[in-house]
């Protein structure tokens, strides 16, 4: 349809600055004790805990061919 283009909006300078900061974050990153601790937690500790839980519960439950009243735990 002809006429005005209603999809255009005024740009908020704060949102533009946030977008620029997010896209250039790697330029201003510094290793501090806090960032090292957070990185260690997400890279080593969380996968380690998930892996340990998976290892300990491997084969413990069997969900195939169960009916109402059957136990999930394999003994």
Residues of the domain holding 36: 31-75
**Does residue 63 lie in a domain region?**
yes
Q: How many domains does the chain have?
A: 1
Q: pLDDT in tens for each of the 75 residues of the chain?
A: 555 666 677 788 999 999 999 999 999 899 999 999 999 999 999 999 999 999 998 878 776 777 788 777 766
**Does residue 44 lie in a domain region?**
yes
**Does residue 74 lie in a domain region?**
yes
For residue 25, give both structure tokens. 């974050």
**Does residue 55 lie in a domain region?**
yes
Q: What is the pTM of this model?
A: 0.56
**Does residue 6 lie in a domain region?**
no
**Does residue 37 lie in a domain region?**
yes
């Amino acid at each position: 349809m002809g006429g005005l283009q209603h999809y255009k909006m005024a740009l908020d300078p704060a949102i533009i600055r946030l977008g620029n900061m997010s896209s250039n974050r790697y330029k201003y990153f510094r290793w501090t004790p806090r960032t090292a601790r957070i990185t260690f937690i997400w890279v080593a500790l969380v996968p380690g805990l998930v892996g340990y839980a998976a290892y300990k519960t491997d084969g413990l439950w069997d969900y195939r061919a169960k009916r109402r009243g059957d136990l999930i735990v394999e003994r």
